[in-house]
Amino acid sequence: MERRQNHHQQPQNLRRNPSSSSSSSSSHSSNHRPRYRPPNRAGGDARPHSREDPYLDSGDAAAGGRPRSLARPMRAHASEAAAGSSIGVRERQEQHRRDQDREDDRDCRELASVVGTCPHMCPVGEMAQRERLRDLAVFERLHGNPAKTSPELAVKKFCRTISTRDVQLLDIRPFSVLGSTLDYLMSLMNSTPEPFETVHDFIFDRTRSIRQDLSMQNIVDKRVIHMYEKMVNFHVTSHHKLRLRSSGPDSFNISSLHHLNMEQLAKVLTSLYNLYDLNRDHSSTHKNEPEYRSLYVLLCLNSESLPEGERLSLWFRRVPTPVIKSKEMSFARRILRYFRTGNYSRFFSTIAAEASYLQYCALEPYIDKVRALAVLCINNGGYKLHPYPIAHLSNLLMMEESEVESFCNACGLETSLDEQGNKVLPTKQPAFEHPKAGYGKYGFSGLENICRGREAEENV
């Protein structure tokens, strides 16, 4: 079989076949004004579900609907066609046939790379409009004034319904601006007095807008990987911090924030993995890829995958071998095994010994589940005349003793004292029940070490 390069001309007007059932196509018109027309989706066709863009998360906007090819230089075919006599009959035949094909080929071969020109974190037009409408987030207000902002404070909002007809280049931030915007947003995580939900909400929305701008400019190369990793960090950390706050009067609101956060996290992770795959050379892995891949496993421990995600058994099929063999993935797989076999002993000790901060945050919701399983097993299988020492349970489950007691109570079990005055859990109590969701928040004894490890990493 011959290997041939696909040389493509840039046709001025691709005719789109409206009865197409295949993926959407795009057109690029050579206007004088640098306008960008995002691709149209092919109507409401018979394609089953799958609204998601498999390659890039565009934050749900209409833009960014199709798989894109790598930004490789496209050689102009025009010169070759013009060279006429030096080309054999065969090449001319192929050219002829290709022209015929292109007429009714609905697929888009390449997209123009558009570069935005907005110099600030927020387009000037939007800034003015939101000042007028007093639609400024608390972080965007100049000296607290709800009607005044500045280029240093305003950040472009995510817009669900972008008019597909035209978006001005002046409204799109180029890559360098997006990078500094993201860094600014990340810096807000730890530096404001506002309650965490407010910070989360703001960063959630504004990072979605960043992804939208990236997608519209079709930026899918290596540079973006680090940005997506930072956004995953944000969502995973929120996963942990929102959980801590989901009790009390605001808990319903926060738990829906938590759920939406999981959804976005799934999208960003998937995009990140696609970026890793797109930008892989020599089947190596990217520097942080093992850790970020391991997060998927830890988020899906109980074999229900992330929303619209894949079952783990299927997901593993497409993970590159070097990632599978990595330390981070090996950790995740062991945790998975301990979870699935119910080995609560190793589950906790391994987390304490090996988890990174991100990994801990990802699997945190399962910690109490495993604790409940442990308490259940001990209560069921323990000898009635040997009540289980709370101190021992505390070591086993990586919890403070006071929290162990409270946890047992949450499971419908009573604790008591033995003759020496030590706290114990009598076994064979009939009333075990799983703690209700959001009942209480328990710590993890090894957490300081894990956090210390994280600080050390960040200082590197």
Work out whether 342 is an interface residue with other proteins (CB under 8 A): yes
What is the DSSP code (8-state) at residue 171?
Answer: G
Q: Cβ closer to other proteins: 3 or 436?
A: 3
Separation in Å, CA 146 to CA 133, 149, 152, 159: 10, 8, 15, 21
Q: Name the maximum alpha-carbon separation found in the chain.
A: 104
- Taking CB atoms within 8 Å and a gap of at least 24, the contacts of 406-415 are 406/440, 406/442, 407/368, 407/371, 407/375, 407/435, 407/440, 407/442, 408/375, 410/435, 410/436, 410/439, 410/440, 411/372, 411/375, 411/376, 411/379, 411/435, 413/375, 413/379, 415/390
Q: Cβ closer to other proteins: 66 or 239?
A: 66
3-state secondary structure of 290: helix
Exposure class string for 360-378: b at 16+ Cβ within 10 A, else e: bbbbbbbbbebbbebbbeb
Q: Cβ closer to other proteins: 163 or 313?
A: 313
Among 163, 283, 321, 459, binds other proteins (CB under 8 A): 321
Among 244, 324, 353, 391, binds other proteins (CB under 8 A): 324
Work out whether 389 is an interface residue with other proteins (CB under 8 A): yes
Work out whether 80 is an interface residue with other proteins (CB under 8 A): no
Work out whether 68 is an interface residue with other proteins (CB under 8 A): yes
Q: Which stretch binds other proteins (CB under 8 A): 175-183, 246-254, 378-386, 440-448?
A: 378-386
Q: Cβ closer to other proteins: 182 or 323?
A: 323
Take residue 241 and report the two structure tokens written for it. 């911090």
CB burial of residue 56 (10 Å; 0-12, 13-18, 19+): buried
Q: Any idea how long the chain is?
A: 460
Work out whether 77 is an interface residue with other proteins (CB under 8 A): no
Q: Cβ closer to other proteins: 182 or 367?
A: 367
Work out whether 449 is an interface residue with other proteins (CB under 8 A): no
User: 230-269 mask for other proteins (x: CB under 8 A)?
Assistant: ----------------------------------------
Distance CA 416, CA 258 (A): 36
Distance CA 303, CA 340 (A): 9
Number of residues that bind other proteins (CB under 8 A): 70
For other proteins, the binding residues in 7-36 under the rule CB under 8 A are 21-23
Distance CA 417, CA 389 (A): 9
User: 88-127 mask for other proteins (x: CB under 8 A)?
Assistant: -----xx-xxx-xx--xxxx--------------------
Work out whether 378 is an interface residue with other proteins (CB under 8 A): yes
Q: Which positions touch other proteins (CB under 8 A)? A: 1-6, 21-23, 45-50, 55, 67-70, 72, 93-94, 96-98, 100-101, 104-107, 303, 308, 310-314, 316-319, 321, 324, 336-337, 340-346, 373-374, 376-378, 380-386, 388-389, 392, 396
